[in-house]
Amino acid sequence: MIVAQRKPFAEIKDMLQGYNKVLNVGCGTCVSVCLAGGEKEVAVLNTELEMARRLADDPIDIQGHTIERQCDREYLAELDSIIEEGGFDALLSMACGVGIQFLAERYPHIPTFPAVDTSGLAVNQAVGWYEERCRSCSQCVLGSTGGICPITMCAKGLLNGPCGGTNKGSCEISSDQPCAWFRIYERLSGQDRLDAIKKINTARGWKNQTPRNLIQPGYMKPEKMAK
């Protein structure tokens, strides 16, 4: 899932300086699961903001609404009437980076602010602990690396590792960080598939250097949006 972490309170408070009627929009999918921006987090943040602004003698009217998915028009639509009638002078979003942008795009006349920092595609290792696993590089190599991503998990993103810094199975950056390539070696060795990494991985043409559009086979951009 996409994981994110709430921004420091002071930063959020600063962004909302001068705005007195705000709608905080949560998202019920990834950021809700990773405890960053679901219904509960919206309520907590709103209470904190209300209190801080009251103490500063600058009260804020902040409301909350959490929709199923902010990255999907179908769900965003339910905000239309709330926003039309609410007279908000700013929107705050607790969704991931794409959700925040979709919200800002739907209501372009209202300033929209991020309440979270989105940090990647991660697995849930334990309650509250998420580990990044994919940088969505558009050319997956997991088939030859034993299902371990070197782009994400190797600190240098090497395609021909491990480098000379591997330290007793840890990455040179920290003894807490496992060396991805050490693990790739171990896993492939266990599967008797070391040949998969004895071949040179040649320099790749990066596919993530321009904004990417993904259109599944058999689909097209709708005429009116194609420009």
Partner 1 sequence: MNTETHVASGSNLEKVLRSGQFAFTGELGPPRGTNADEVREKAKFLKGNVDAVNITDNQTAVVRMSSWAASLIAIQEGLEPNYQMVCRDRNRLAMQSDILGGYALGIRNMLCLSGDHQQFGDHPDAMGVFDIDSIQLIAMVRQMRDEGLFLSGTEIHQPPKMFIGAASNPFADPFEWRVHRLAKKIEAGANFIQTQCIYNMEKFRKFIHLANEEGLTEKVFILAGVTPMKSVGMARYMKSKVPGMDVPDEIIDRLKGVEKEKVAQEGINIACEQIEEFKEMKGVHGVHLMAIEWEHMVPQIAEQAKVLPRPVFS
Binding flags for partner 1, 128-167, as an x/- string (CB under 8 A) = ---------------------------xxxxxxxxxxxxx
Enumerate residues 32-71 that contact ligand SF4 by CB under 6 A. none
Interface with ligand SF4 (CB under 6 A), residue from 95, 149, 159, 197: 149
- Measured from the CB of residue 214, what is the shortest distance to ligand SF4 in angstroms? 12
User: Which position has the token pair 């907590």?
Assistant: 44
What is the distance between the alpha carbons of residues 159 and 181, in angstroms, rounded to a whole number? 9
Binding flags for ligand SF4, 166-195, as an x/- string (CB under 6 A) = x----xx------xxx--------------
- Measured from the CB of residue 3, what is the shortest distance to ligand SF4 in angstroms? 14
Q: Which residues pair with 117 in a beta bridge?
A: 5
Residue 220's Cβ-side half-sphere holds a number of Cα atoms within 13 Å equal to 5
CA-nearest of 88, 91, 120 to 105 is: 91
β-bridge pairing 21-27 and 129-134: unpaired
Residue 88's Cβ-side half-sphere holds a number of Cα atoms within 13 Å equal to 27
Enumerate residues 161-200 that contact partner 1 by CB under 8 A. 161-169, 172-173, 182, 185-186, 189, 194, 198, 200
Judged by CB under 8 A, does residue 218 bind partner 1? no
Q: Which residues pair with 18 in a beta bridge?
A: none
β-bridge pairing 112-114 and 61-67: unpaired
β-bridge pairing 21-27 and 90-93: parallel
Instruction: By CB under 8 A, name the binding residues for partner 1.
Output: 155-169, 172-173, 182, 185-186, 189, 194, 198, 200-203, 206
Instruction: By CB under 6 A, name the binding residues for ligand SF4.
Output: 134-137, 140-142, 149, 151-152, 154-156, 158, 161-163, 165-166, 171-172, 179-181
